[in-house]
Amino acid sequence: MARLDLRGRRVLVVGMAASGRAAARLAVSAGARVHLTDQKPGLAPEPGCTATFGHHDDRDFAEADLIIVSPGVPAAHPALAAAAARGAEVVGELGFAAQVVQAHGVPLLGITGTNGKSSTTHFTGELLTAAGRSAFVGGNLGTPLSVLAQALHEGGVAPDFAVVEVSSYQLELPGRFAPRAAVVLNLTPDHLARHGTMENYGATKLRIFARMGAGDSAVLPPGHPQLPTTAVPAAATALLLGGAPGARWDGDTLWLAGTVDDGPVPCAGFGMPGAHNRENLAAAILLAVQAGVPRADLRPEALTALPHRMEAVQAADGVLWINDSKATNVDAARVGYAGVEAPCIALLGGQGKEGADYAPLRPLLAHRARLVITFGASGPQIAEALAGLPLAAAPGLRDAVALARSAARPGDTILLSPACASFDEFRSFEHRGDVFRALARGQENA
């Protein structure tokens, strides 16, 4: 099997978050002369690499044969456009790693969409493991694909599958990424500051199918104007979430039709709350079956919740606490609140996204929430949008949790599904969720 050979090539890695660093290590392992660049100053070096930190130097881009781009760097960056115009290869970290993984015969299963990517990726990996298959699980979620690529390049054992969460940013420069099966779960307004319009956003998501051929499978929601099945290459199989051919629910049974293994998948033992988790499960089952795992080997009852996605973190005194910190936009929060029974105490707040409209939460919260507690930088804006509902305000999450605890009654669910990013108080949604979990458990030093 041919190894990745970059000897003598000048490689520039743009962006030094986790995926950029993993790509740099892979390029060094393949013999490249690697230079790193990031606009943040004072970053840690990488062994075997030179670096320009604190600014971008046009000469670094002009001298590179291959430029590997972290997803945080827009593909429209002028320096990248100029490099591509002069003939340099410009590719995202995902595409760079995918060519290695695919060369080693590991089938890729790709998951994208505005909401539900991480849970579906997690569910797919767990289904494969429970069915006795080995699986790498990562990409935009957790471990960059370049980590697997480097392990394979250096002689590691190949897993049966690589399950990869894929963001729209990664799909701007997808390179040779060619999944065996992939899904676009949904598409709602998000990241429009980068993509501009819903049409562009949808077209970017659909690139996940662009290199599919015979034997490959593309899964889509039915009837979405920006996600038409006509975008699926003719040689590939197009399947629908909630339609035929594809998967549809009948009670607690998921029925597959037009797949490689049609028939029922009993799901009564699946324990995750909410219609959104059933949709994520349906997508995971379709991906697993289309990848070659028989229905009879699937065990939906073995699946567990991913941290920060409708994660039950505490049950005491008749009150259930749920951590849905990953709900960083309004649509994700709507899904979270739709997934719990009344009565609930809703925690909404943080750093809202530009142009966010919280009014669509009103009908759902009017039906389900006994109290809405707003907090953080966008708390006043949220309270204004939800005026007329039972409201309380807190300066930050810690105070919001204290208010919720004092207001809770037996039978209540306290749900942190904040509809906002976390950066007014926390490093990430994970940090916010970890603090909420600790506070819910009475660990006051969180």
Active site residue 353: no
Bridge partners, residue 218, by sequence? 182, 238
321 membership: H or E segment, kind and range? strand 319-323
Please report, for residues 220, 272, 349, 362, the alpha-carbon distance to residue 346 in angstroms, rounded to integers and kept in the order given. 31, 19, 10, 12
Tokens 């039950």 correspond to 312
What is the Cα Rg of the chain in Å? 23
Phi, psi of 200 (to 5 degrees): -65, -40
Alpha-carbon distances, residue 318 vs 141, 315, 378 (angstroms): 34, 7, 30
Give the E-state strand segments of 3-60 in sequence order: 10-14, 33-38, 49-53
Three-state secondary structure call for residue 94: helix
- 3-state DSSP call for residue 69? strand
* 260 neighbors 292 (Cβ within 8 angstroms): yes
* Catalytic residue check, 140: yes
Beta partners for residue 89, in sequence order: 66
**Prior bond of 245 cis (ω within 30°):** yes
Task: Give the residue among 402, 403, 400, 404 at the shortest CA–CA distance from 414.
Answer: 404
Task: Return the structure tokens found at 385.
Answer: 């949008």
CA distance 438 to 446: 6
Helix 93-103, helix 145-153: angle, nearest 10: 40
- 217 in helix, strand or coil? strand
Phi first, then psi, for residue 125 (nearest 5°) are -60, -40
Residue 117 designated active-site: yes
Interstrand relation of 181-184 and 217-220 (parallel, antiparallel or unpaired): parallel
Residue 142: Cβ-neighbour burial (10 angstroms; 0-12, 13-18, 19+): middle
Q: Pick the catalytic residue: 191, 200, 224, 431?
A: 191
Q: Among the options 35, 104, 117, 276, which is catalytic?
A: 117
User: 10 in the Ramachandran plot: left (φ > 0), alpha (ψ -120 to 50) or beta?
Assistant: beta
Query: Per the omega criterion (within 30 degrees of 0), is the bond before 343 cis?
Result: yes
Q: Which of 35, 115, 140, 323 is catalytic?
A: 140
Which residues belong to the active site?
A: 117, 140, 191
